[in-house]
Every structure is written in C-alpha cells, then in structure tokens.
C-alpha cells in the first residue's frame, strides 16, 4: 500500500515527527514535495472558491497524491500541543478537500488532539490499522515520533543555552536600531505562509536582497508567551493568535527589531482579529501587512517591500534624531 503525505499546511512545523513516524512504520510513503504552479492550479480547480490560499494549496497537494497513492494523509486537527484551538478549517479538512468518494481514501482523519497524549496514541493506532501494519509496530512508530519531538526541543534548548553562554545573539539582539548595519524585521504570520516560499513568492530572499535581516521569533513548540499575553481581557482562543501576538510583543520589548512584516492570507478570518490586536499593542511602530492569494504578483510584493525598506531606513537614521 502506498501512502501520500501532503507537504502543506502544518507539515513543515511537524516534519521531523511525521517523517520519524512513517520511517518507523516501514510503509511505502510518497511526499508531495514543495508547492508549485501545477499544485496551485489543481487546488484552484478542485477547491471551493472562498477558501484561502493555504487551503487551495493543500487541496492541490492532495489531488496530486490521489493520482499516485492508495491512501492520502488528511488530518483532522482539533487541538494543538498547548490545548489551544485552531482555525475551524483544520477540523473540517477531510470534508473541505474530499470530493465524491475520495474521503474513503483519506487516512488519519479521525479527530487529533495533540495536547492529550493517551488519546492521540489511541487514535493514531486505530487509524493506522488501515495500513495493514501490526499494532506493536504502530505503537513503536508513535513512541519514536514522540522521542523526535523531545529531541527537537532539547536541541533547541541547547542552542539557546550555547548562544547565551557565548554571548552570541545577545550583543546582536540588544543593539539599538541605529547601531546595526541594516534593518531587521520580525516576519510573522501563520507558519505555512512563512515556510512556503512558493505561496509567499520567495519573500525571505527578497528581504535579504534588500539587506533586511529577518527574525521569526522563538521556536513556537517551546516558547511560553504568557508574559506578552497579560493584560488581555481573556486568553487568546486560537493558537496562531497566541503565537503571533506573543512573538510581536516579545520582539518589540527586546528592542531588537525595526519593524514587523505580517504575511496574511486573503479572506482569513483569524488574521483579521490578530492583525488588529497587534496594531493596537504597537502604536506607531512600523508594520506592513502583506495579503497573499492565488493572484498575488511578484511585482506588487517587490514594490511594497522596497517602500517598507525605505521607511525603515529613514526611521533608523533620521527620525531618532528629531528633538
């Protein structure tokens, strides 16, 4: 049996865990590869018009894999690792991308609660039986994936400790805007909009070409943003809200960035709230919101980035000297 895994939505975020799980299962696995024009066109053709760009791309990855595989992994994510909720499209993903009887070919589509280890293991083992793999192999693969997650956290912690002990990062991080060679921006947004260079039209390379350094904040699997969330009327409901609002607050407080660049999908409901909340917290600190969809053109992005870069430079060198 051949299993297809779409490299879209939260794939990059959980990639080491997903790969470890399937490597340990010893089944025939096909990864869909990075997004491209062909995948986007498949997504536009098969997905509902109102869907956001990341959902259309996911649909495109699934359509490609359906031609090559017996089963396609289409997860139904209900809760993330900290117990927060996620966009409702994730909990209805199999219905959103399933056409006709194709839902019967989806696997791991039972509700997944990443914050409940026992429930997660039970669901994964139950769903995995469709792969004709012995139960003990499924349990072994699940535990190996869990270990990969813990190793990732340990490596991240060790890197942070090493940087701290060596004084690295600190000196750079604490430099004030006028003391740095170029501008530095925080790149925020949903993880799939940041990590998919086809979706964001190679944004990180464009920023580098303009001499802008990019920081994306701490590892979200590790970082506790509770400090930045104090003062809100209630705890943020969505994971992406908690992460992006928290990251923006942490980076702003550190004084280590000159601006914020937020990549947002056109017609994303959660972003409409997150962006306004960040704006209300940062006053007149420079922030550019880049909306992306399937019609986004390189030239439009280039022009806005150039204008933003000039604004940051002007602020760094002149506005700080105003009496």
Is 199 among the residues that bind ligand SF4 (CB under 6 A)?
no
Contact 215, 259 (CB under 8 A): no
Between 69 and 194, CB nearer to ligand SF4: 194
Question: Rounded to whole angstroms, how far apart are CA atoms 258 and 183?
Answer: 6
Q: How far is the CB of 190 from ligand SF4 (least distance, A)?
A: 5
Stretch that binds ligand SF4, among 17-25, 50-58, 138-146, 148-156 (CB under 6 A): 50-58
Q: Measuring CA to CA, which residue among 245, 252, 219 is closest to residue 230?
A: 245
- DSSP structural state of residue 39: H
Judged by CB under 6 A, the residue of 265, 274, 305, 308 near ligand SF4 is 265
Is 268 among the residues that bind ligand SF4 (CB under 6 A)?
yes
- DSSP structural state of residue 114: T
Between 223 and 291, CB nearer to ligand SF4: 291
Number of residues that bind ligand SF4 (CB under 6 A): 11
Judged by CB under 6 A, the residue of 32, 85, 270, 309 near ligand SF4 is 270
Between 64 and 190, CB nearer to ligand SF4: 190
CA 176 from centroid of its chain's CA atoms: 29
Q: Decide: helix, strand or coil at residue 215.
A: strand
Stretch that binds ligand SF4, among 51-59, 142-150, 161-169, 213-221 (CB under 6 A): 51-59
Judged by CB under 6 A, the residue of 61, 64, 71, 190 near ligand SF4 is 190
Question: Rounded to whole angstroms, how far apart are CA atoms 54 and 32?
Answer: 15
Between 66 and 243, CB nearer to ligand SF4: 243
Question: Rounded to whole angstroms, how far apart are CA atoms 215 and 274?
Answer: 19
Question: Rounded to whole angstroms, how far apart are CA atoms 168 and 156?
Answer: 15
Judged by CB under 6 A, the residue of 77, 80, 87, 194 near ligand SF4 is 87
Is 79 among the residues that bind ligand SF4 (CB under 6 A)?
no
Distances (CA, A) of 27 to 66, 128, 134, 143, 188: 17, 11, 12, 17, 36
Can you give the binding site for ligand SF4, defined by CB under 6 A? 52, 54-55, 87, 89, 190, 265, 268-271
């Amino acid at each position: 049996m051949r299993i297809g895994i779409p490299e879209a939505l939260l794939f990059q975020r959980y990639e080491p865990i997903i790969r470890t799980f399937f490597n340990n299962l010893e089944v025939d696995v096909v990864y869909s590869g990075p997004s491209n024009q062909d995948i986007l066109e498949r997504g536009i053709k098969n997905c509902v018009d109102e869907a956001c760009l990341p959902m259309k791309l996911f649909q495109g990855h699934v359509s490609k894999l359906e031609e090559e595989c017996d089963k396609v992994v289409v997860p139904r994510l209900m809760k993330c690792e900290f117990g927060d909720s996620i966009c409702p499209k994730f909990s209805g993903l199999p219905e959103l991308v399933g056409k006709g009887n194709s839902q019967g070919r989806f696997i791991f589509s039972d509700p997944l609660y990443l914050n409940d280890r026992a429930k997660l293991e039970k669901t994964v083992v139950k769903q995995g039986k469709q792969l004709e793999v012995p139960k003990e192999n499924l349990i072994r693969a699940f535990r190996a994936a869990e270990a990969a997650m813990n190793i990732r956290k340990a490596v991240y912690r060790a890197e942070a400790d090493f940087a701290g002990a060596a004084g690295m990062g600190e000196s750079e991080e604490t430099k004030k805007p006028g003391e740095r060679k170029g501008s530095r921006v925080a790149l925020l947004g949903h993880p799939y909009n940041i990590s998919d260079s086809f979706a964001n039209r190679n944004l990180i390379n464009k920023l580098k070409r303009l001499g802008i350094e990019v920081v994306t904040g701490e590892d979200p699997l590790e970082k506790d943003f509770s400090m930045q969330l104090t003062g809100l009327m209630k705890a943020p409901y969505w994971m992406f809200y908690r992460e992006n609002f928290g990251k923006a607050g942490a980076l702003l407080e550190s004084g280590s960035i000159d601006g914020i660049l937020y990549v947002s999908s056109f017609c994303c409901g959660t972003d409409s709230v997150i962006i306004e909340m960040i704006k209300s917290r940062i006053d007149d600190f420079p922030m550019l919101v880049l909306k992306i969809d399937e019609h986004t053109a390189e030239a439009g992005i280039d022009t806005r980035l150039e204008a933003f870069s000039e604004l940051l430079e002007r602020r760094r060198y002149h506005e700080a000297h105003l009496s």
